[in-house]
Structure 1
Amino acid sequence: MRKLFWLLLAAVVIYSGYWMIGAKGTESAIAAWIDSRASEGWQAEVADIKTGGFPTRFDTEILEPQLADPRTGVALSTPRIEILSQSHRPTRFTLRMAPEVTLASPYQRLDITQDLAEAQLFVDPGPSLTLDHAALSLQGMRVASTATWGFTLESGEITTQRQADDPLTHDIALHVEGFAPTGGLIDGLDPEGLLSDRFEALDLDMQATFDGPWNIHALEGPRPQPTHIDLTTLSAHWGELDLKLAGAFDIDARGYPIGKLAIKAENWREMIELAISVGAIPENISNLTLRAGEMLAGLSGRKDTIDAELTLKDGMISLGFIPLGPAPRIMIR
């Protein structure tokens, strides 16, 4: 019995030592990363870093972090970031943001509040912490921009899984419910009040290839940029508009897509009227565009549905032979 007691005591002492080393190691690694960013010219400050959760967890709080990257001008501040993990599974952890976050760029500041913003992250062993797969959950999000736009979001789920045979390609899925533009954003998207005040649902399923791995160094910059996207489906239901996209495209060095997408749009007239109202289709060709839409709808066999192809080329986007204006730039700051 005495030997068993001493064995148990030794095990407790050894495990306690392991936990203390792990906790201090986590705090030291975070502090060293922040010091490295400061030495590179970042604004990188925290009020405190502390770890609890003994004996089964490493639960680290980073209090009042303020980070600003001078190369991109992107800055983040929040009262608290939590990094939570089980002591026996250090490559699986939860990242949880405080209910208030401020995200700024040279162009605007975003004030973000949420009921829940939590990511489950699974990384490879080693100092680079290369992302293998992740799941992000959002609940009750509200975003307000100093550029007079914003949105609210009832719920959102984003997952990503790195492909085993191509480590720079990730399978990405997104499901959003209750996305509602606010302020100048809804006025810009729908100045004539053609649609409802929110997306009923938005779903995305795609494979994205990047020019570098997503790891701890991606936070330091430059960020990995997408070079190719295979879009299995993008489905949006907004009021009377039901839109589906699928296809594949490359992304050039300037961030412009090059390729083709199949599009199916029900109640397409609302879509074209929306594009006209925001200036994406000039007024002087609006009648021509509507007639062309009727022709495309006739080819699909249903007057209210367009089955056609979007062409992405030279920084522009067109629907069949209808020019729709500049293509969006796809870049991660």
Structure 2
Amino acid sequence: MRTLLLVIAALFALLSGGWFLVAWQIESRAEAALADLRARGFSVDYADLSTTGFPSRFDTTATNLRLATPDGRVIWEAPFLRVTALSIRPNRVTTLWPQDQTLTLAGQRIDLSAKDLRASATVGLSTDLPLDEATIGSGLATVQAENGLGFGMDRLAARAARSGSAYDLFAEVEGLRPATVSANIGLLRLDARVTLDAPLELRSPTAPRFRGVALREVRLAQGDVALTGSGTLEPDAQGYLAGTVNLTAENWPGLLDLLQAAGLLAEQQRPFVEGALAQMAQGSDRIEVPVTFADGKVEALGLVLLEAPRVL
């Protein structure tokens, strides 16, 4: 029994020493990263940086944070930021934000409030640290700028999971409420696969090149009104997105009601738009419209809507 107790005590001392060594390394690397930002001209202020959670966790918390770009045009402030990982799974890191934060852009203050805002990332167990999975989620949240612009939402959930050199993306927002319009968006969903020429690697000095995106579903819905899209887009020889996205409007008369209520469709314009859509629908409440990305332009129904994004 005495020998067993000595062995247990030795193991505990070894594990304890390992935990404190790792905790010291975490704090040292965090302080070095903040010092590197200062050396590059950023303003970095915080009250305290410490790691707790012995023996099962590493919870590193910085308090009273203030970060500003060298030109002072972007400033982020928060009462704390916590990064946590389990001792038995150090390759998965979770970041926890406070409920209230502030962001200042070119002198314009933006207040951010989010319930249980957190993000996590899991990297592969190799020297290049490939990003295997990332998630972000939040409960009730609001973003409000001094000029009155902003939005609120009931819930946010997003996930990216690696499959070779591609990432499957899924994001869903419920109860999106733009501050400047009266209509709400009940559901916003994205389901897609983004293909790269290599996985995202945290230690790689260069970012992988974008190869294409397959939109399984993009959906905006409010009650029985919905706008959905699917299609495949790839960069062309000039680096612009090219391909076709097929849009479907479900209950298009209800969609016009929402656009008019939101102030996005003038009352005097509605008869013209409604007549054109009724002719396309031919008695149906569904309308399908292909949207083409080609030659650096986005076109639908023979009209150029905007310039296509350049991704390369």
- Pair in the same fold by TM > 0.5: yes
- Cα offset for 1:215? 5.2
State the match for 2:76 in structure 1.
76
Amino acid at match of 1:97: W
Change (3 A) 1:315 1:271: farther
Residue 79 of structure 1 aligns to a residue whose secondary structure is strand
For 1:328 and 1:144, how far apart are their aligned partners in 2?
30
- Cα offset for 1:91? 0.5
Correspondent of 2:170 among 170, 173, 176: 173
| Structure 1, unaligned runs of 5 or more | 187-192
Residues 311 and 320 in structure 1, CA contact (< 8 A), matched pair in contact too = no
State the match for 1:45 in structure 2.
45
The alignment status of 1:308 with 2:289, answered yes or no, reads yes
Residues 163 and 170 in structure 1, CA contact (< 8 A), matched pair in contact too = yes
- Cα offset for 1:316? 4.4
The alignment status of 1:242 with 2:242, answered yes or no, reads no
Residue 280 of structure 2 aligns to a residue whose secondary structure is helix
- Cα offset for 1:18? 0.1
Residues 256 and 327 in structure 1, CA contact (< 8 A), matched pair in contact too = no
Residue 20 of structure 1 aligns to a residue whose secondary structure is helix
**Cα root mean square deviation, aligned:** 3.5
How do 1:263-282 residues align onto structure 2 when only pairs under 5 Å count? 263-269=247-253, 271=255, 274=259, 278=264
Percent sequence identity is: 26
State the match for 1:321 in structure 2.
302
Residue 78 of structure 1 aligns to a residue whose secondary structure is strand
For 1:103 and 1:128, how far apart are their aligned partners in 2?
32
Amino acid at match of 1:180: R
State the match for 1:201 in structure 2.
187
What whole-Å deviation, never above 9, does each CA across 1:12-47 have from its counterpart, x for those lacking one?
Answer: 111111010011111111111111121122223322
Residue 117 of structure 2 aligns to a residue whose secondary structure is strand
What whole-Å deviation, never above 9, does each CA across 1:68-116 have from its counterpart, x for those lacking one?
Answer: 3459965432111111111121101221111112234348543110111
Under a length normalisation based on structure 1, what TM-score does the superposition of the two structures give? 0.79
Amino acid at match of 1:90: P
Change (3 A) 1:47 1:100: same
How do 1:89-100 residues align onto structure 2 when only pairs under 5 Å count? 89-100=89-100
Alignment coverage as a number of residue pairs? 308
How do 1:159-170 residues align onto structure 2 when only pairs under 5 Å count? 159-164=159-164, 166=165, 169-170=166-167
Change (3 A) 1:52 1:254: farther
Residues 160 and 172 in structure 1, CA contact (< 8 A), matched pair in contact too = yes
Residue 65 of structure 1 aligns to a residue whose secondary structure is strand
How do 1:285-300 residues align onto structure 2 when only pairs under 5 Å count? 289-298=273-282
Correspondent of 2:243 among 231, 252, 259: 259
Residues 58 and 86 in structure 2, CA contact (< 8 A), matched pair in contact too = yes
| Structure 2, unaligned runs of 5 or more | none
Change (3 A) 1:148 1:317: farther
State the match for 1:189 in structure 2.
none
Identify the range of structure 1 (10-19 vs 142-151) with the bigger mean alpha-carbon deviation: 142-151
How do 1:48-197 residues align onto structure 2 when only pairs under 5 Å count? 48-70=48-70, 74-106=74-106, 108-125=108-125, 129-164=129-164, 166=165, 169-182=166-179, 184=180, 186=181, 197=183
